[in-house]
Structure 1
Amino acid sequence: MSTIVIVGAGPQLGRAIGRRFGAEGFDVALVARNRTTLEEVAGDLAGAGVRAEVFPADVTDRPALHAALTAAEERLGPIDVLEYSPAPSPADLRRAPLVEATEVTVDSVLAQLDLYLLGGVAAVRHVLPGMRARGTGTILVTSGAGSGPIVAPHVANVQIATGGMRNWILNLHAALVGTGVYAAHVAIAAFIGQGGHDSRPETIADAYWRLHTERAEAEYVVQDLPDDYLERGLADKFLES
């Protein structure tokens, strides 16, 4: 049985990815801060016949994240697919407000680096040695498309962090060619579940499955935003989707 770990698992995209991979025979490990949300998602997956286990952890607490991933391996076996898609909580946004490009400071960037880039590095570094030793594995890292494919100056401090993560994953994709391990970045320019067909969680989850099986693209962009989303003040809403 294969195992996917979804770090940052939530009720929309995380649930859809779990259902999609679970339908293909994967066991699903769910990692996020909120145990109640994780258990709700796990219950939904179980109702669809998918084995799902919960491992609460905050990605900014590196020992806790390491412990959660270790527990997932002990309970479900080696991690074959890592999907990393953290999202800020309301408390995160109060502690580290979103900052426009002309107002960026060192402090405004540090908290975003902790959540997106450093948490991602920690998660990938946990699973990568085992994947390389086995000669197989998939790493899918997700962020908003302001990480590079589109411009989102209203949330510039976040994009500094996610841009760094995107750059690293694109380079990791190139570095892993020929090893049997595949890495890709998913950039989401959409209000998940609130737009057209391309923004539906199930549609996006299908794209993750295609990336895992075809193992060709270094990046996939989900594009379903109105052209005037910045002018309409939707950048913050986009980030929180």
Structure 2
Amino acid sequence: MPLITVIGAGSGLGLEIARTFGRKGFDVALVARNQAKLDALALTLEGEGIRARGFTADVSKPATIVSALGAIKTELGPIDILEFSPADPTIVPVDVLEVTAENLQPQIDFYLGGALTAIGAVLPDMIAAGTGTVIVTTGGGSISPVPFLGNINIAAAGLRNWTLNLHNALRDKGVYVAHVGITALIGGGHPDAEPAVIAKAYAKLYDDRQDAELHYIAYNG
């Protein structure tokens, strides 16, 4: 069975991405910091006939990501899709006029540093196999920045830039890399902002394997 690994798995979009690909025949590896929550998500998916397991790791601690991905490959097999969408609400966003080197660095370390570690751990195998998919998710501010998320937008834009560069560098090697920027209050009431609806866009990206980027927009109100 092919395998999707979701880094930053939670009960919203992460679960729906796992569910959507599970229904397409994928096994699922869920990665986040809390094993109890991961076990609950995996149990939900198992109840729907989707083989799923949780692996703990903290994106802010690179060694844990490398260890988790190594365990996934050892126990479940090669990773066919890596979806990267972690979030850490404890890292405080600041307005664009208040950005400093000090309050920017944690955002860069978490988002860009975490992606460098996670994606760097799976790309060599994908390149060697001549196949694989990496989908990186950020907020829509990576594409259309908003002032009150000044420091997050800088880090997310850097991650977006690297992802688009990877798309260009790897498209002739059989590895598909794409960026999804979400401008929506996920689960906030707009029908197109429901996690299950957004997850279908990920499946289409995977099936089409063409676009470097999707800016998913669903305005509430």
> TM-score, normalised to structure 1's length?
0.89
Runs of 4+ in 1 over 4 A off after TM superposition: none
Q: Which whole-Å deviations, capped at 9, do the CAs of 1:128-185 have from their partners, x for residues lacking one?
A: 000000000000000000011x221101001110000001101111111211100000
Equivalent residues in 2 for 1:158-197 (5 A)? 158-197=152-191
In 2, Cα distance between the equivalents of 1:39 and 1:5? 15
Displacement, 1:197? 2.2
Match of 1:108 among 87, 90, 103: 103
In 1, Cα distance between the equivalents of 2:132 and 2:147? 35
Equivalent residues in 2 for 1:129-168 (5 A)? 129-148=124-143, 150-168=144-162
Q: What RMSD, in angstroms, separates the aligned Cα atoms of the two structures? A: 1.1
Q: Which whole-Å deviations, capped at 9, do the CAs of 1:90-110 have from their partners, x for residues lacking one?
A: xx23xxx21101110001011
> TM-score, normalised to structure 2's length?
0.97
Structure 1 unaligned blocks of 5 or more: 228-241
Equivalent residues in 2 for 1:27-106 (5 A)? 27-89=27-89, 92-93=90-91, 97-106=92-101
Displacement, 1:225? 2.1
**Residue type at the aligned position of 1:142:** T
SS in 1 for 2:33: coil
Match of 1:128 among 113, 123, 127: 123
Mean Cα displacement is larger for which, 38-47 or 180-189? 38-47
Structure 2 unaligned blocks of 5 or more: none
Tell me, yes or no, if structure 1 residue 215 matches structure 2 residue 209: yes
In 1, Cα distance between the equivalents of 2:171 and 2:220? 36
Q: Which whole-Å deviations, capped at 9, do the CAs of 1:164-213 have from their partners, x for residues lacking one?
A: 00011011111112111000000010111113222111111111111111
SS in 2 for 1:54: strand
Would you say the 8 A contact 2:23–2:50 is kept in 1?
Answer: yes
SS in 2 for 1:50: coil
Tell me, yes or no, if structure 1 residue 201 matches structure 2 residue 212: no
Would you say the 8 A contact 1:198–1:222 is kept in 2?
Answer: no
Q: Which whole-Å deviations, capped at 9, do the CAs of 1:54-74 have from their partners, x for residues lacking one?
A: 100101111111000000111
Report sequence identity in percent: 47
In 2, Cα distance between the equivalents of 1:47 and 1:116? 32
Would you say the 8 A contact 2:188–2:220 is kept in 1?
Answer: no
